Structure 1
Amino acid sequence: MSRDPALQELSRSAERLREQPVSSEPVFDGKLLRVRRDGVTLPDGSAATREYILHPGASMIVPLLPDGQVVLVRQYRYPMHRAFIEFPAGKIDAGEQPLATARRELLEETGFRAERWTELTTIHNAIAYADERIVLFLAEGLERGQQQLDDSEFLEVFTAPLEDLMRWIASGDVSDVKTVIGAFFVEKLLAARKTGSA
């Protein structure tokens, strides 16, 4: 539970909203995702069905170069049938800590290693139908190495000023939610560093 007094009070009152599971069945078990269908009892005692995706979670990295540019990747996302500009990210393997995932994915996707890591926040990007969480990291002190892509992975790596990325977000040209949130977090962090409040 949060230490914030206002959130503590909200958490206590949220118990009245709880939906109690009464049954659960698998719908689909895939390589990455599992889908389940649960029967639940709603707060007023009525019944409902909930279908949702189970996901192992992921880490995302904002790789920041000393000159203020960020390292980005462009890759094709099949569900949307087009290429997207994103920060590097990847699935957390079983038993793996999010920071270990971030280190691995940064190297695999971009070829970079980082000296300094800052955990920014954790987001839940699809709470209406999935349990996925994404842990966001800032990576600094970058050293370029060799990309180590998986056999079925195809992506382009490029750098851009953070200001350009913020403009692309504002125009809707960059719409990946984890990338948008990561960019805003880092923009705020860098502004706080300039004023000495970080």
Structure 2
Amino acid sequence: MTERKRGPWTILTERLGYENPWMKVREFDVLRPDGQPGLYGVVEPKNVAIGILPVFENGDTMLVGQYRFALDAWSWELPEGGGAEDVPPLDAAKRELEEETGLKASDWCELSEFDVSNSITNERAYSYIAWGLSEGDPDREGTEADMQMRRLPLREALEMAISGSIRDGFTLIMLMAAVEKARRGALDPGLSRSILSGLDEA
């Protein structure tokens, strides 16, 4: 391949290092911004990341817990998963919420869009708030057979995030973004009242 620029970087060669049904890893021989030779690897997931903050009318939310293989640790999180790039992210969010928790929502709004770990991956994340909730039965994948659900006040979930009991970055972003948007009046008024209810309780 011919050399090409990517911002202040120069790509000399590119090769596919690894591929499976969920991701690719590309390796690049480069000239760094300082002009010196270097090596760069980029993880390219084949799905976008999807996250959902469900909010019940009384201010509760729903966490899901599962054992994360990559971390070798249990993790409490908001519902999240992957969505095909050719499927609208909101459609993927509706499917993911129902699969993991059995919940359906009559109302949805965009919460945040962000880059997951931009030094090593090009993964993009989309998150939504779901409210007007009705309960049903989950329909989980085999990899989620150990998953547990925990309904709790959103205030308690936020405290878990602040204390470090919740370490999942996607969940931290969703919780903080929702509370701040509610405080700024950037959400539906009824939804904001549900999110903010009880936050200032001892």
TM-score using structure 2 length? 0.83
Select 2:54's aligned residue among 46, 58, 63: 63
- Say if 1:168 and 1:174, in contact at 8 Å, map to a contact too: yes
Seen in structure 2, the aligned counterparts of structure 1 residues 18 and 97 have a Cα distance that, compared at 3 Å, is farther
Aligned with 1:190: secondary structure? Answer: helix
Kindly provide the amino acid, as one letter, of the partner of residue 57 in structure 1. V
The percentage of aligned residue pairs carrying the same residue is 26
1:52 to 29, 42, 45: 42
Q: Could you list the runs of 5+ residues in structure 1 that have no partner in the other structure?
A: 1-14
- Which residue does 2:179 correspond to in 1? 187
Distance 1:118 1:37 in 2: 37
Q: Of the candidates 144, 159, 162, which is equivalent to residue 151 of structure 2?
A: 159
1:173 alignment counterpart: 165
The CA deviation at 1:118 is: 0.8
Give the equivalent residue in structure 2 for 1:120.
111
Q: Does the CA-based 8 Å contact 2:48-2:85 persist in structure 1?
A: no
The answer for the alignment partner of 1:109 in structure 2 is 100
Compute the displacement of 1:16 (Å): 9.9
When the two structures are aligned, how many residues end up with a matched partner?
183
Listed as ranges, the gaps of 5+ residues in structure 2 are 193-202
Q: Is the alpha carbon distance of 1:171 and 1:145 closer, same or farther for their aligned partners in structure 2, counting shifts above 3 Å?
A: same
Relative to its length, the structure with more helix (as a share) is 1
Q: In the aligned structure 2, how far is the partner of 1:136 from the partner of 1:142?
A: 17
Q: Which amino acid aligns with 1:20?
A: T
Q: How far off is 1:178 after superposition?
A: 0.4
1:80 deviates by: 1.1
1:43 has 2:33 as partner: yes
Distance 1:84 1:53, change over 3 A: same
| CA distance in structure 1 between the partners assigned to 2:100 and 2:138 by the alignment | 6
Matched-pair contact (CA < 8 Å) for 1:71–1:158: yes
RMSD over equivalenced CA pairs, Å: 2.2
Secondary structure at the residue paired with 1:189?
helix
- The farther-off stretch of 26-35 and 95-104 is 26-35
Q: What CA distance in whole angstroms lies between the structure 2 residues aligned with 1:16 and 1:124?
A: 18
User: One-letter code of the match for 1:131?
Assistant: N
